[in-house]
Amino acid sequence: MNVMRRLKSIASGRTSISSDPGGDSGTKRAKFDQETDQRDNEETNRIVRRATGLEQHMASTSLETAASTSDISSTARREKSSHDQLPKEMHEMRIRDEKANNRDEKDVEAAVVNGNGTETGQIIATTIAGQNGQPKQTISYMAERVVGTGSFGVVFQAKCLETGEAVAIKKVLQDKRYKNRELQIMRVLDHPNVVQLKHCFFSTTDKDELYLNLVLEYISETVYRVSKHYIRMNQHMPIIYVQLYAYQICRALNYMHHVVGVCHRDIKPQNLLVNPHTHQLKICDFGSAKMLVPGEPNISYICSRYYRAPELIFGATEYTTAIDMWSVGCVLAELLLGQPLFPGESGVDQLVEIIKILGTPTREEIKCMNPNYNEFKFPQIKAHPWHKIFHKRMPPEAVDLVSRLLQYSPNLRCTAELNMLPVSMVKRLLQLPLEACAHLFFDDLRDPNARLPNGQALPPLFDFTAQGTANGFLDERLPDKPCCPALIAQFALPFVFINDGRSKGEQILGPGWLFIKDMDVLVGLSGGWNGTA
C-alpha cells in the first residue's frame, strides 16, 4: 500500500492508531529484532570468513604519531583537561585538512601473530609513539570475541596483554585515497559521555587492502540491550534510568553540536553504550558523523530508519544538528514505551508512522524541512494527543519533553537564537541540548540525595567546566549576555536576565526559567556578572 492510500485510510478512520505495545508496533519491533539478529549473525560470519587467512602481515602507521602534528590533534591535546570546552579556533578548523595530516606521518611496525586479529586467541602487536618525549612502545592485544558487525566492518573485544585492560577494536576497510572522517572526528572529541579513542593503527592484507583499527574503551552494555532486558521481563524501564540516559545523551550532544560542531547522524539505542554498574552513558559509532557546514549539501539517506528525522525522509540535503535531537526524542519515547514510536518498515512507511502521531505537516512545516519539496498533496490527518500515546502513569514531564523534541520544524527542535524572544516562543526552543538538560523531567537528577535503585551514587552529571560551559555554549547561543558560571556548573543551565515588563529591575532565572509565566522578553545587561553564586 503506497503512502497516499495509507494516509487516506487513516484519515477516513479505517486504520486505527494504537499505542498498545502488543499491537502492530510490537509486531514490527519483534520482526525488526529478529531480522536484525539474523543480519548480524550473517554479517559476522561473512566478515570473519573474509578476514580469515588474509592478514598475514600488518604494515602499521601509528596514528598517535601521524596525526598528532595535525592542527586538530594539537588543539585537542592542549585542551585535553576540559570536558566541555574547546578553544574558539576549533570552531573554525576543518576536520578535513589532509595536508596537515600528511605533513609528518611516520611509519612504525606492527605485526599479527598466527592470524588476522579478529579470531579468538589471535594476537595483534602494534608500536605507538611515546608521550612527552618517551620512547616508542609495543602494545599487544589478544582478540576475544566479535561484539558487532555492519557494512563498516567488524568490532571485536580484545585484552591488552601488558595491562590486562579490556578494549574494543573497530576494524574498517580504508580507502587509501581519503582520510577517515570517523578517526579525525574522534581525535577531537573529549567528553565523559563520548566513547574514548585510545589509539589507532593501520593494517594491510595479502590483497593489499588497508584497514583502519580504532582502539576504543570497552563498555559491555548498550541502551538497546538494557531496553530489551526489560521488554523480555514484561516490565517498563525504571524512570530513573530513562532520566539518566536521556540526560547524558543531551549533555553529550550539546558538547558535540555547540562546542565541536559535529553532528552524529545515527543516534539510536544500539549506539549508546552503558556501564551496567554506574549507568554512565557514552555515545559511540561516529562512522556517520560529520561537521556540517552551512550551504554545503549532505546526503539525506543517513540515520537508522526508526530514528530518522522527517526532513531526511523529505530528501533535505542542507539539514542541521536538529536531526540528532529528533533521534533523541525517538529514543526517549522508545524507553518510555518499551517499543519504537515510529516503527516504519521502509522510508515511506516511516513517514506514515510519523504522520499518524504528529498529524499532516503544514505547508510551512514542509518548507522548513525541505524548501525544495513541492509536493503538498497529503490527506489531512489530525495529530494524535500525546497523553493517549503513553500510559496514564507516565510522568507528564516525560511526555512534555518528547513532544518538544519531536517537532516537524527543525528550527523549533534546536536551531534558534534566544535573543529578545518572547518566552512563549522560548518555551518551544527546549530542543537545544543543554536546555533539554534543564527540563523538569530531569529535576530528580538534581536532587542531592538522588541515588540509583541499588543505593549507589549517580554517575557524574554536573561536572561541567565553568569556562567550557560559558564559552562553549553561551558564546554561541547568548553572546554578550551575563552569566554566573558557578550556577551553570551546578544546574547545567545558562542563567540569564529577563525583564517581565512590570518591574524596573532584571531577575535571574533558575532551572525552571522556561516555565515562568508572564515573562515577555529576554534581555541582556551591558555589564558583566557582578553577583555571587
Q: Which residues are catalytic?
A: 266
Residue 35 CB coordination number (10 Å): 11
CB-CB neighbours of 151 under 10 Å: 9
CA distance 319 to 515: 29
Please check whether residue 350 is in contact with residue 303, taking contact to mean a CB–CB distance below 8 angstroms: no
| DSSP-derived secondary structure for 92-153 | H--S--HHHHHTT-----EEEESS-SSSTT-EEEEEEPPSTTPPPEEEEEEEEEEEEEETTE
SS3 for 495? coil
Distance CA 272, CA 277 (A): 15
**C-alpha cell, 169:** 577494536
Tell me if 75 sits within 8 A of 189, measured CB to CB. no
Q: Tell me the backbone φ, ψ of residue 164, rounded to 5 degrees.
A: 80, 5
Q: Closest Cα to residue 141, out of 130, 121, 149?
A: 121
288 CA to centre of own chain: 11
171 annotated binding-site participant: yes
Instruction: Give residue 211's region: left, alpha or beta (phi > 0; psi -120 to 50).
Output: beta
d(CA 275, CA 407): 31
DSSP state of 307: G
What is the rounded CA–CA span in Å between residue 22 and residue 40? 25
**Using CA atoms, how far apart are residues 248 and 387, in angstroms rounded to an integer?**
25
The radius of gyration of the chain from alpha carbons, rounded to an integer in Å, stands at 24
With DSSP H G I counted as helix, E B as strand and the rest as coil, what are the percentages for the chain, rounded to 5?
Answer: 40, 15, 45
Q: Which strand (E) or helix (H) includes residue 197?
A: strand 197-204
Q: Pseudo-torsion of CA 431, 432, 434, 438, nearest 10°?
A: -40
Is residue 382 classed as helix, strand or coil in its secondary structure?
coil
How far is it, in rounded angstroms, from Cα 372 to Cα 246? 33
- Beta pairing partners, 394: none
User: Can you tell me the distance from the alpha carbon of 163 to that of 218, in angstroms, rounded to the nearest whole number?
Assistant: 14
Binding-site sequence positions for ATP: 171
* Feature table: binding site: 171
